[in-house]
Amino acid sequence: MKAHKFDAALAGALQRQQPTTSRFDVTVRVAAPLPAAQITELAALGVPADARRSIFVADLDRSGLAALSDVDGVVSISLAQMLRPLGPRWR
Amino acid sequence: MPTRIKYSTSKTPAVKRPGAKRSAEKRAKTKSAELAASGKISASLAVLLSQMQNRGNKLGGLPSFAAHALKSSAPGPAGPLGTAPQPERVHLLVRCDANAKAVDGVVELMGSGSVRTALVAIDQIPELVGRADIRRLSAPRQLRPLLDVARTLVRVPAFRAAAATGSSGRGVVVGVVDTGIDVSHPAFAGRVLALWDQEIPGPGPGPGFAKLGKVLRGAQMGVSDDTHGHGTHVAGIAVGGPDGLAQMGVAPEADLLVVKTNFQNSGILEGVRWIFAEAQRLGKPAVVNLSLGGHWDGHDGLDDLSVGLDEECGPGRLVVAAAGNEGGDLIHARHDITAANPALLPIDIASKSSGIAPQWLVLNGWYAGGGQCDVRVLSSTGAATPWQGLLSTASGASGAMEYTLGSDLITVATPENPAPSGARQIMLTIESTKASRPVQGGQWSLEVKRANGTPGALHVWLLAPPELPPTCAQFAPGVAAASELIGSPGAASMAVTVAAFTSRNEWVDVTGEVRRVGLQAGTVADFSSPGPLRTGVRKPDVTAPGAMLVSARSSAAQVEDSDLVSPTYMVMAGTSMACPFVTGVLALLLEKRPALTPAQAKQFLKTKSRVPGLPAGGFDPKWGFGLLTL
């Protein structure tokens, strides 16, 4: 596992979530254009990648994250962030 | 809280009445008083009933404010003059239990959900008042269409009518990634092409997309609802129809593709990709509205969602994002760190007794990466975590450590490798370990000191549970910075980022009361988040009306009377509302120029905007390039 590819939020989440069954919604940044062999590697891990983009999404457990971090073209793996609607703030 | 202005009307002039009618009047007044005492009659309806009873239940002579609520009944059986005289009937708004029976007696409730309508004779009102599933009756008011005011302010009608444009959004796809949509609302009749609900189980859209949720089309879309109501309101501002309706949106003939998102930035990015893919399949240009945001990123436009959006944009593929509603909130601190000048950032956390104490909070810190910093946290009891420098991630180590201060768990993440942008992130999570008690209240502190190199400016954004007010946890006023409050996706380079203007600050609600909010009309809204980005990049791009706007109300959303202007339209404010205004304008442009690029769109908006008091092209961190005036 190449944990240096994990962002701070994912590092913190991995520290807090000890069960091996925990799953993590992540975004994956790759060095685009990704070679066909690495696209196949990512697809095998459940990451729908292509040669045109540099950001992909995935839902993985710890072992999946470890395997993903070992793929050469993967630059960083970040924990998905929960955003919110920017609705009424006048109350 | 909004300022409530009590409903008032002029006194009914005294009328001399024949003595024979006095006992009937007395009974009528008693009846009216009994109805009022039930607590189910609004002030406006009580006035209306009283005035009608003074006139023998007749329409004539009523002040104009009330006359529109009355309807003549349908023709009855033929009388001596052809049609029997019928009692005047009143059109009521009915607040009721969501599962209230449509017919329980003589009166029929029309519509569904907890706000319905009924057309009743005066003497049928006690029947409604007596029903246990009826909560309140009120008379509708003649309303001024607030969205019409906003459209006029921005000169949308003239822009649409101009020969060079002459547009309504026809042939353009508007994408809305939000809380969903009420597809049955007449504002969108037949124009929602498809809906990806990421919150229901399903296989996702198919190859190339995350296996998340389900894409619905046609009658299937009815299974997806918008219980929040935000997405329906947003969609109505951009594309609400039909054309010509007072409450219509900016581009009332554009088609809609909707993503009911899970609000993860990953789901949002996938949603935008799906909208552009669908639009391409249909051969139509598209503009996607993102009235959402957060402060988890580096506020530099280099986070994964921002970069992903930038990759999706191009000719005929535009994205519009809200700036955010954190103007004036003390959630950002900035400190230039040197060897002699460490950062000490006090954080005030609400106590349990305040009722707004958070169960967790996150400190999201960033610095340029030319140096290294050590960090520690001091709790309000004086306890502190050890100083923590960059942590190695070799041999599978996570780059984070956990500490316990009292009954709170502190996770400090300081991984040694910088983010792809080159900046370093430190992320601290403070969470209560006991479900029964929140984080220890009082003043905490974040300390950051230089370890080596030149760290430069440290920026920290504070995140707390979104259901709590921002005062639940905030930086002390002396260290809070009133800038750099636009996060992802508003930070995305290609996105048009929109600030909010207060075009109105009062309205008449569904019960007839005048409502007012503490926003100054005619200027940029206090709540609108200011830029620039952490890197100095100019954001927001433009300002548009965002308070107070009337738009479609989702029938599945619970809404207070004060926010309703009719059973199907409601008022909201936020940069969420300003954002779809610009989305609609870009849909009008795309109709005539389907290959419009993001740069061309931004240049157009810039030339049509102006900051008060600044020369053309002038930029202000709150206004961007100013109020859009087409």
User: For residue B501, which of B597, B420, B579 has the smallest C-alpha distance?
Assistant: B579
Check if CATH label 3.30.565.10 holds for domain A3-79: no
Model confidence pLDDT, tens digit, residues B438-484: 999 999 999 999 999 988 899 999 999 988 999 999 999 999 999 99
> 3-class SS at B103?
strand
Contact residues on chain B for A24, CB-CB shorter than 8 A: none
**CB-nearest partner of B269 from A4, A16, A57:** A57
Distance CA B13, CA B371 (A): 80
Distance CA A75, CA A52 (A): 16
Q: Annotate A14-74 with DSSP letters as a single string.
A: HHH---TT-EEEEEEEE-SSPPHHHHHHHHHTT----SS-SEEEEEEEHHHHHHHHTSTTE
Q: What is the largest CA-CA distance in chain B?
A: 102
User: For residue A45, which of A34, A36, A33, A57 has the smallest C-alpha distance?
Assistant: A57
Q: Are B308 and A76 in contact (CB under 8 A)?
A: no
Nearest CA in chain A to B327: A89
Contact residues on chain A for B426, CB-CB shorter than 8 A: 8
Model confidence pLDDT, tens digit, residues B508-555: 988 888 999 989 999 999 999 999 999 999 999 999 999 999 999 999
Domain-by-domain residue ranges, chain B? Answer: 3-76+86-138, 146-326+488-628, 332-475
pLDDT band at B60 (very low <50, low <70, confident <90, very high): very low
B199 close to A (CB below 8 A) = no
User: For residue B604, which of B580, B623, B585, B576 has the smallest C-alpha distance?
Assistant: B585
Query: pTM for this structure?
Result: 0.83
Distance CA B325, CA B499 (A): 9
**Quick check: A53 and B208 CB within 8 A?**
no
User: For residue B408, which of B360, B366, B336 has the smallest C-alpha distance?
Assistant: B360
Prior bond of B548 cis (ω within 30°): yes
Give the residue-averaged pLDDT of B306-332: 97
**Quick check: A5 and B417 CB within 8 A?**
yes
pLDDT at B26: 56
% of chain B residues with pLDDT over 70 = 85
B542 close to A (CB below 8 A) = no
CA–CA min distance B163, chain A (Å): 35
> 3-class SS at B596?
coil
pLDDT at B174: 98
Distance CA B386, CA B597 (A): 51
CA–CA min distance A4, chain B (Å): 5
A31 close to B (CB below 8 A) = no
Model confidence pLDDT, tens digit, residues B267-279: 999 999 999 999 9
Between positions 106 and 165 of B, the ones with CB within 8 A of A are none
- For residue B68, report the phi and psi dihedrals to the nearest 5 degrees: -65, -20
Q: Are B312 and B276 in contact (CB under 8 A)?
A: yes
Angle at B433 between CA B430 and CA B438, to 5 degrees: 70
**Quick check: A81 and B264 CB within 8 A?**
yes
Domain-by-domain residue ranges, chain A? Answer: 3-79
Contact residues on chain B for A14, CB-CB shorter than 8 A: 398, 400
Task: Locate B331 and state its tokens.
Answer: 């959630």
pLDDT at B544: 98
**Quick check: B2 and A25 CB within 8 A?**
no
Distance CA B148, CA B152 (A): 6
Least confident of B26-35, B79-88, B330-339: B79-88
Sheet with B3-5, edge to edge strand ranges: B3-5, B514-516, B506-508
Q: Tokens 């309000």 — which residue? A: B380
Distance CA B323, CA B541 (A): 9
Residue B365: beta bridge partners?
Answer: B426, B460
B573 close to A (CB below 8 A) = yes
Distance CA A66, CA B218 (A): 42
Task: Locate B413 and state its tokens.
Answer: 């993440």
Q: Is the pLDDT of residue B24 over 60?
A: no
Q: Is the pLDDT of residue B503 over 70?
A: yes
**CB-nearest partner of A14 from B209, B265, B398:** B398
Contact residues on chain B for A80, CB-CB shorter than 8 A: 264-267
pLDDT band at B141 (very low <50, low <70, confident <90, very high): low
Model confidence pLDDT, tens digit, residues B205-222: 999 999 899 999 999 999
pLDDT at B151: 87
Distance CA B48, CA B42 (A): 10
pLDDT band at B48 (very low <50, low <70, confident <90, very high): low
Distance CA B286, CA B415 (A): 40
pLDDT band at B4 (very low <50, low <70, confident <90, very high): very low
pLDDT at B511: 85
**Quick check: A76 and B420 CB within 8 A?**
yes
**Alpha helix stretches (DSSP H) within B289-339:** 304-312
Residues of chain A with pLDDT under 70: 18, 88-91
CA–CA min distance B49, chain A (Å): 32
B527 close to A (CB below 8 A) = yes
How high is the ipTM of this complex? 0.94
pLDDT at B17: 38
Distance CA B561, CA B550 (A): 14
pLDDT at B63: 35
**Quick check: B429 and A12 CB within 8 A?**
yes
Handedness of CA B394, B396, B397, B398 (dihedral sign): positive
pLDDT band at B80 (very low <50, low <70, confident <90, very high): very low
Contact residues on chain B for A6, CB-CB shorter than 8 A: 393, 398-399, 415
pLDDT at B370: 81
% of chain B residues with pLDDT over 90 = 66
Check if CATH label 3.40.50.200 holds for domain B146-326+488-628: yes
pLDDT band at B183 (very low <50, low <70, confident <90, very high): very high
Q: Is the pLDDT of residue B43 over 60?
A: yes
> What is the DSSP code (8-state) at residue B372?
E
pLDDT band at B68 (very low <50, low <70, confident <90, very high): very low
A22 close to B (CB below 8 A) = no
pLDDT band at B343 (very low <50, low <70, confident <90, very high): very high
B288-300 burial by CB neighbour count: b if 16+ within 10 A, else e? Answer: bbbbbbbbbbbbb
pLDDT at A58: 95
User: For residue B198, which of B182, B173, B180, B181 has the smallest C-alpha distance?
Assistant: B180
> What is the DSSP code (8-state) at residue B407?
T
Q: Is the pLDDT of residue B110 over 80?
A: no
B511 close to A (CB below 8 A) = no
A21 close to B (CB below 8 A) = no
CA–CA min distance B554, chain A (Å): 14
CA–CA min distance B316, chain A (Å): 18
| Residue B576, CA distances (Å) to A72, B173, B188, B297 in order | 40, 19, 19, 19
A20 close to B (CB below 8 A) = no
Mean pLDDT of chain B: 86
Q: Is the pLDDT of residue B47 over 70?
A: no
Residue type, B293: G
Q: Are B418 and B453 in contact (CB under 8 A)?
A: no
Contact residues on chain B for A85, CB-CB shorter than 8 A: 178-179, 228, 230-231, 263, 291-292, 576
Q: Is the pLDDT of residue B96 over 60?
A: yes
pLDDT band at B152 (very low <50, low <70, confident <90, very high): confident
pLDDT at B101: 85
pLDDT at B56: 57
Q: Are B506 and B517 in contact (CB under 8 A)?
A: yes
Residue B572: beta bridge partners?
Answer: B549
Handedness of CA B57, B61, B63, B67 (dihedral sign): positive
Kind of pairing between the strands at B496-502 and B523-524: antiparallel
Distance CA B572, CA A89 (A): 9
CA–CA min distance A38, chain B (Å): 15
Q: Is the pLDDT of residue B61 over 60?
A: no
Task: Locate B419 and state its tokens.
Answer: 């983010």
Identify the architecture of domain B332-475 in CATH.
Sandwich (2.60)
Distance CA B271, CA A30 (A): 20
Distance CA B4, CA B333 (A): 35
Contact residues on chain A for B573, CB-CB shorter than 8 A: 88-90
B579 close to A (CB below 8 A) = yes
- Backbone conformation region of residue B32, classed left if phi is above 0, alpha if psi is from -120 to 50, else beta: alpha
The dihedral over CA atoms of B291, B297, B298, B303, expressed in degrees to the nearest 10, equals -80
